[in-house]
Amino acid sequence: MPLIHRKKPTEKAPQPEEEVLDEGSQHKHHDSKTHKKSNNGIEKVKWSCIDSCCWFIGCVCVTWWFLLFLYNAMPASFPQYVTEAITGPLPDPPGVKLKKEGLKAKHPVVFIPGIVTGGLELWEGKQCADGLFRKRLWGGTFGEVYKRPLCWVEHMSLDNETGLDPAGIRVRAVSGLVAADYFAPGYFVWAVLIANLAHIGYEEKNMYMAAYDWRLSFQNTEVRDQTLSRMKSNIELMVSTNGGKKAVIVPHSMGVLYFLHFMKWVEAPAPMGGGGGPDWCAKHIKAVMNIGGPFLGVPKAVAGLFSAEAKDVAVARAIAPGFLDTDIFRLQTLQHVMRMTRTWDSTMSMLPKGGDTIWGGLDWAPEKGHTCCGKKQKSNETCGAAGENSVSKTKPVNYGRIISFGKEVAEAQPSEIKNIDFRGAVKGQSIPNHTCRDVWTEYHDMGIGGIKAIAEYKVYTTDAVIDLLHYVAPKMMARGSAHFSYGVADDLDDPKYEHPRYWSNPLETKLPNAPEMEIYSLYGVGIPTERAYVYKLNQSPDSCIPFHILTSAHEEDEDSCLKAGVYNVDGDETVPVLSAGFMCAKAWRGKTRFNPSGIKTYIREYNHAPPANLLEGRGTQSGAHVDIMGNFALIEDIMRVATGGNGSDIGLDQVHSGIFEWSDRIDLKL
Amino acid sequence: MFQIPRFRKLCFSDFPTRGLEDTVIQEAKQPTSTVEKPKRRRIRIWSYVDSFFWTIGYLWTAWWLLLFLYHSVPVPALHQAPESPGTRLSREGVKANHPVVLVPGIVTEGLELWEGRPCAQGLFRKRLSGGSFTDIMRRPLCWLEHLSLDSETGLDPPGIRVRAVPGLVAADYLAPCYFAWSVLIENLAKIGYEGKNLHMASYDWRLSFHNTEVRDQSLSRLKSKIELMYVINGYKKVVVVPHSLGAIYFLHFLKWVETPLSHGGGGGGSGWCAKHIKAVVNIGPAFLGIPKAVSNLLSAEGKDIAYARDLAPGYLDSELLKLQTQEHLMEMSRSWDSIVSLLPKGGEAIWGDLDSSAEEGHTCIFPKRKSSQPSLNVLHRQNISVKPVSCVKQPTKYGRIIAFGKRASELPSSELSTLNIKELARVDSTTNGSTSCGEFWSEYNEMSQESIVKVADNTAYTATTVFDLLRFMAPQMMRRAEAHFSHGIADDLDDSKYEHYKYWSNPLETKLPDAPEMEIHCLYGVGIPTERSYIYNLATSSSKCKSSIPFRIDGSVDKDDVCLKGGARFVDGDENVPVISAGFMCAKGWRGKTRFNPSGMETFVREYKHKPPGSLLESRGTESGAHVDIMGNVGLIEDVLRIAAGASGQEIGGDRVYSDVMSMSERMSIRL
């Protein structure tokens, strides 16, 4: 075996001579090879390629096993030790810290996961999903996305008429704490909070994950799975088995809206509601600690529904961007994803609520004067200082214009904009693109005339955006508006507000009559968050979606809020501060018409601090929408409330952003 | 860590091209004759390492290739799986109707860690049992420590919290690929079951039943869950499917739920069961206990209760690590109250006295048992040709659950030495107990050698007297456990003492609830030899120190007879539970209106004859009758599905009996 002969110690080889002999080496190499051939026989030479290949694989395997062995033999505390050596001693996790203070598990805790983070598993499927029974389709490794993408899309979609299961497919929420502790392996959602609560004595009997199918509209989760009934029964059970101590509810993201819906549902009389009676919440709930709650919706949802370009509503796209975006398999992937997300009613619960009153009109917005700091500025003070200087030179951003066609329009004075109303425009019969027929996006129903009309309207404020979506996707919005509403109530006692579609809109419902209950709004700040978009008409023939975000719209200035066609404001990367904080900062503060019993509200903001180095993973001071669940300060707050603390024990409001100032600018009858 | 660079060098130092050229140059430069010798040696050394790598690489490549082929071959080509009962029934139009609650048995259910000692770092919410068991291998002592309960209270030891895994995942697979409930769940799903009408009532199976309520409120949660499922599924009554120990647990629940709150019950009021429960479909129920539990408690030799030993027999049994494994295991299982609930109930009236037993005349032919026990098979063939006369001629004395020596197991009762075990003094023998074993807690250390000899001298114990033996051998455990369980037969069921929870799980000491429309089914496998009584001998003390377990099953006792093998006598059953324990209550004790069943609810006995899997491809078989494997039995699954879809016991065919459980039950004289 020639390979073996070549393996000899090299140390003795004299360095200078190597260069001298360089030219001749090729020749000699050849010589020695032929020499060996004659020695060892020709058969062996034929073998050598496979042999060396095997040799190499074996070597890699052995090395791998050896490293694995070393890794396993390593004491469990070793990684921690290394981390401590590099970054200095870590702060005690809140669980350990509070245990030392002597805090003990007291109130039962209920988690309500948000959109996307809850796992879904298959209970009944088509032929192509053989062998996936009770395997996760959503969450986990997402292995099936790669293996059988079309099958996966088919199973994850709902029926686009009813918003319920398609025939022959049953995909259900995973139940228990495992439903949302980790979204994907190693990517925690609730796991850190659960682990810390366990330190002070929580376990399965006083912690409960209210998993629900987040694709459905809220009322449909009750119709199909009786999820709300199960949640009610579980909360009642936990309260009674824990000696009558009221529950602390911890919803996250869309779970916040879901729980708002639940509170209204549970006290409503039986056929529509849960029949718990008018004091059910007062009897069973101690506090609601909303984490990153999009009370008033998120502008991202608009972009998601309009052109499937929002980032984490269509997470599927982010998970496998290269794969899904390519047209190698002629999959028209983006369109498939869009078709899938459009069958999910829940995405419509996140559309901006409150219209122009909340989100601003053509020429004003509550966040007026907000300056965005460049990413390079880290501490808050420099950002504020720079902000004052730059106000003069950068033009104020018109956040009220959620969608504008073209950058000029986005910046123009209101008087200069000529809107040609699209609402009455004839859609026209000509179909712009035939290949998109099999993809259900409703755009092919619209015709060139309709598309033109949309682009000519130029600027859309929040109210107009809802109309726009009604125009662009009439079927979807018809289904959605049976379940959700986006307005502001004039008279909350109007009997029409007893319909379930209003229950998840905080501006169209009253909070329950529970004066002792507390509502917290905990969210991260200090991350640029999408607030308004610059769009353009997409004329290219091979695309099924005629609109795209104008990614070239960019401001040279480091401090500009306009990045790649998106205007940013302060927030937690997904939810703008206004949406997360307004209800607790103003609309529910004190006794208002939305909060007739005067439930106490608190705002707790957490300034985002990115992890200092890679070893910290996703950081313990993050303010990002999901990563905030690992924020030690937030966990500590939750634990203090769970062990019996109230708002004043954890320090009342904690505000970093301009939420109070912005709230004051909103003119809403209270 | 230092070894990695060295290893790397070993592996790769010559691989880069420069090295390659160097060697060539060197080779070319040096005169061959001088280098020849050292080089030879080098080559030899290298070739070993190389061929080692080569072999491993070769194997891996072959493995990958096979794996690739396996994955690329379409599934139906590999094996034509027979249609599952769920698919067939759903085609027949059978639809999910009644909500189903599954109650898992002992050991099949997963436990996970919530708080532990430093040695269990990183195992938070990881499974300690019912998972992959890798941690038993890595830190066996730590594992034992965490699974043990406090020997005084029978609850958590301080600083350790191990809890049952909730949800369907709790017991669908016992170990990866070793199904427990998953086949049944999958078939239920095919006719439309899902999370809202299918529930797994997991509980911590190590605790006594009453303690599961005290610590975890498991019974309250089960009650609330059943009430909820009853309501959200359109007021349809619930079908409960308990397995093994779950059957007694649910018996306890039935009594608990109707007992008023003031008496420590669930406060459901009488009529709760009639309102909420359609049928209880017990799979392999151990209603009257199992003899295996006795041997397990005496000497940790029961086979699958001390399952950890089975899983890693060589590893755990070896004394290499000076682990005294068996003693540790015994200590652990003795801290579990639930094992005591499995001790034989009903005493001599059920299990037979010194001279007779209900199974008398049982011929030990297990014709269907083929591949799993070849030795039996051979014997059986001989039996068939010669006709099994010997078995019938001399009736086996099954009543003697524990006999010391083979003679004692066969002698007429008059020749046995009479011994009143209660009078034996427990001599404090700390002085003669060797100190090397002192660190290890076992109550055997407190006993004197003489009393042990006396206990074992030509004696035999029946199901009644064996409790005296256990009380003598392990007083602390029995004191603790007997506050939670009782094993007798009630004379007068209206006696107010039977309101105590310790009687609730004994079917012979409780009345069934007043629910005339409810049905009770007993589904179990037959046709597998099942341990029924044991022959013990005194353990020869090991060299190091006095063995802390003084008795061993006398494995040398063997006969040309399948009834007696390896020191244990066998009867018909499902490998764990003898027919008498699984079937008697449904066959006689509860049949018709009896004092145990005052409302006269209907009972059904459904037996499933064991048929070993025909080939390896079938893995554990679809017609198995073994205790856990029966959950994959298509006949049983079909029955469960039909009941869940609304069929009554008569509609699925009433009784189906293969064993002689009916005649055995007749022979028992119990006042009904």
Does residue B640 share a domain with residue B562? no
How large is the ipTM?
A: 0.77
**The pLDDT of residue B560:** 55
**The pLDDT of residue B422:** 55
Average pLDDT over residues B81-98: 84
CB contact under 8 A, A172 and B24: no
**C-alpha dihedral sign at B500, B504, B506, B512:** positive
| N-term to C-term CA, chain B | 73
Of A116 and A479, more confident: A479
Distance, CA of B168 to CA of A172 (rounded, Å) = 13
pLDDT of residue A380 exceeding 60, the answer is no
Domain that holds residue B631: 97-288+516-523+582-667
pLDDT tens digits, A67-121: 888 877 766 666 667 766 766 666 778 888 888 888 888 899 999 988 877 888 8
On whether any CB of chain A is under 8 Å from the CB of B78, the answer is no
Length of chain A counted residue by residue: 670
pLDDT of residue B490 exceeding 60, the answer is yes
Q: Residues 235 to 254 of B: which have CB under 8 A from any A CB?
A: none
pLDDT of residue A63 exceeding 70, the answer is yes
Strand pairing report for A547-549 and B111-115: unpaired
**The pLDDT of residue A87:** 64
Does residue B549 share a domain with residue B599? no
**The pLDDT of residue A244:** 87
| Per-domain residue ranges of chain A | 2-73, 94-296+512-524+577-665, 352-366+373-483+527-571
pLDDT of residue B193 exceeding 80, the answer is yes
Could you tell me what percent of chain B has a pLDDT over 70? 69
On whether any CB of chain A is under 8 Å from the CB of B231, the answer is yes
Average pLDDT over residues B246-268: 88
Q: Which of B53, B121, B195 sits opposite A55 (nearest CB)?
A: B53
CATH number at residue B208: 3.40.50.1820
CB contact under 8 A, B42 and A8: yes
- pLDDT averaged over every residue in chain A: 75
pLDDT of residue B319 exceeding 60, the answer is no
Does residue B265 share a domain with residue B183? yes
**The pLDDT of residue B522:** 92
**The pLDDT of residue A392:** 40
* Residue of A157, A253, A521, A560 with catalytic role: A253
Q: What is the DSSP letter of A625?
A: T
pLDDT of residue A574 exceeding 50, the answer is yes
**The pLDDT of residue A560:** 64
Average pLDDT over residues B333-356: 82
**The pLDDT of residue A335:** 67
pLDDT of residue A415 exceeding 50, the answer is yes
pLDDT tens digits, B572-620: 888 888 888 888 888 888 988 888 898 989 999 999 988 877 666 556 6
Tokens of A84: 């401590």
CA angle B613, B178, B77 (to 5 degrees): 60
Does residue B177 share a domain with residue B251? yes
**The pLDDT of residue B249:** 92
Does residue B538 share a domain with residue B426? yes
- Residue in chain B lying closest to A191 (CA): B125
Distance, CA of A194 to CA of A186 (rounded, Å) = 15
Of A545 and B477, more confident: B477
Residue B576 lies in a domain: no
- Phi first, then psi: what are they for A262, rounded to 5°? -60, -45
* Residue of A312, A572, A627, A637 with catalytic role: A572
- Residue in chain A lying closest to B168 (CA): A175
Distance, CA of A305 to CA of A547 (rounded, Å) = 11
- pLDDT averaged over every residue in chain B: 74
Of A530 and A260, more confident: A260
User: How confident is residue A494, by pLDDT bands cut at 50, 70 and 90?
Assistant: confident
* Residue of B148, B182, B244, B665 with catalytic role: B244
**The pLDDT of residue B617:** 58
| Separation in Å, CA of A206 to nearest CA in chain B | 9
User: How confident is residue B18, by pLDDT bands cut at 50, 70 and 90?
Assistant: very low
Average pLDDT over residues B468-484: 82
Average pLDDT over residues B111-133: 75
Q: Decide if A253 is catalytic.
A: yes
**The pLDDT of residue B49:** 77
Does residue B276 share a domain with residue B390? no
Strand-pair partners of A291: A252, A522
- What are the distances in angstroms from CA B392 to CA A86, B355, B395? 79, 16, 6
pLDDT of residue A259 exceeding 70, the answer is yes
- Comparing A138-147, B83-92, B126-135, the range with the smallest average pLDDT is B126-135
**The pLDDT of residue A145:** 66
Nearest to A548 by CA among A566, A575, A529: A566
Q: Residues 49 to 68 of B: which have CB under 8 A from any A CB?
A: 50, 52-58, 60-61
**The pLDDT of residue B520:** 92
Query: How many other C-beta atoms are found inside a 10 Å radius of the C-beta of residue B386?
Result: 10
B171 contact residues in A (CB cutoff 8 A): none
B71 contact residues in A (CB cutoff 8 A): none
pLDDT of residue B445 exceeding 80, the answer is no
Q: Are A571 and A539 in contact (CB under 8 A)?
A: no
Q: Which of A77, A205, A232 to mutate to test the interface with B (most CBs of B within 10 A)?
A: A205
Residue B235 lies in a domain: yes
Does residue B596 share a domain with residue B510? no
**The pLDDT of residue A108:** 93
Greatest mean pLDDT among A264-268, A365-369, B27-31, B457-461 lies in A264-268
Of A224 and A621, more confident: A224
Length of chain B counted residue by residue: 672
| Separation in Å, CA of B163 to nearest CA in chain A | 8
Query: How many other C-beta atoms are found inside a 10 Å radius of the C-beta of residue B118?
Result: 9
Residue B58 lies in a domain: no
**The pLDDT of residue A572:** 85
Does residue B563 share a domain with residue B623? no
pLDDT of residue B276 exceeding 90, the answer is yes
- Comparing A131-140, B141-150, B548-557, the range with the smallest average pLDDT is B548-557
- Residue in chain A lying closest to B232 (CA): A226
Residue B503 lies in a domain: yes
Query: How many other C-beta atoms are found inside a 10 Å radius of the C-beta of residue A303?
Result: 25
Could you tell me what percent of chain A has a pLDDT over 90? 8
pLDDT of residue A387 exceeding 70, the answer is no
- Phi first, then psi: what are they for A491, rounded to 5°? -130, 105
pLDDT of residue B280 exceeding 70, the answer is yes
pLDDT tens digits, B152-182: 888 888 888 888 888 887 777 766 667 788 8
- Comparing A360-374, A494-508, B359-373, B489-503, the range with the smallest average pLDDT is B359-373
On whether any CB of chain A is under 8 Å from the CB of B7, the answer is yes
Q: Decide if A572 is catalytic.
A: yes
CA angle A211, A212, A215 (to 5 degrees): 140
* Residue of A346, A483, A625, A653 with catalytic role: A625
Give buried/exposed letters for A538-576 (b at 16+ CB in 10 A, else e).
Answer: beeeebbbbbbbbeebebeeebbbbbebbbbbbbbbbbb
Does residue B252 share a domain with residue B165? yes
User: How confident is residue B34, by pLDDT bands cut at 50, 70 and 90?
Assistant: very low
User: How confident is residue A615, by pLDDT bands cut at 50, 70 and 90?
Assistant: low
User: How confident is residue B401, by pLDDT bands cut at 50, 70 and 90?
Assistant: confident
Greatest mean pLDDT among A461-465, B376-380, B394-398 lies in A461-465
pLDDT of residue A453 exceeding 60, the answer is yes
Of B404 and B396, more confident: B404
A241 contact residues in B (CB cutoff 8 A): 217, 220-221
**The pLDDT of residue B250:** 93
User: In this structure, which amino acid lies at residue A291?
Assistant: I
Contacts of B466 (CB under 8 A, 6+ apart): B294, B343, B344, B401, B402
Average pLDDT over residues B340-362: 79
pLDDT of residue A391 exceeding 90, the answer is no
CB contact under 8 A, A203 and B39: no
Does residue B621 share a domain with residue B543? no
**The pLDDT of residue B11:** 41
Q: Are B305 and B107 in contact (CB under 8 A)?
A: yes
pLDDT of residue B226 exceeding 90, the answer is yes
Does residue B555 share a domain with residue B591? no
**The pLDDT of residue A52:** 79
Average pLDDT over residues B287-291: 88
**The pLDDT of residue B230:** 92
Burial class (CB in 10 A: 0-12, 13-18, 19+), B667: middle
Reduce the DSSP state of residue B118 to 3 states and report it.
helix
**The pLDDT of residue A299:** 84
Residue listed under structure tokens 């799903």: B189
- Residue in chain B lying closest to A240 (CA): B220
Q: Which of B4, B23, B109 to mutate to test the interface with A (most CBs of A within 10 A)?
A: B23
Domain count for chain B, please give it: 2
Architecture of domain A94-296+512-524+577-665: 3-Layer(aba) Sandwich (3.40)
- Residue in chain B lying closest to A122 (CA): B194
Cα atoms found within 13 Å of the Cα of residue A237, Cβ hemisphere only: 26
Of A399 and A513, more confident: A513
pLDDT of residue A168 exceeding 70, the answer is yes
Distance, CA of A265 to CA of A262 (rounded, Å) = 5
pLDDT tens digits, A281-332: 999 999 999 998 888 888 888 877 777 665 443 444 444 444 444 444 444 5
Average pLDDT over residues A535-545: 64
Nearest to A237 by CA among B277, B166, B217: B217
**The pLDDT of residue A217:** 87
Greatest mean pLDDT among B112-126, B343-357, B507-521 lies in B507-521
On whether any CB of chain A is under 8 Å from the CB of B34, the answer is no
Does residue B395 share a domain with residue B473? yes
pLDDT of residue B451 exceeding 60, the answer is yes
- Comparing A215-224, A634-643, B113-122, B187-196, the range with the smallest average pLDDT is B113-122
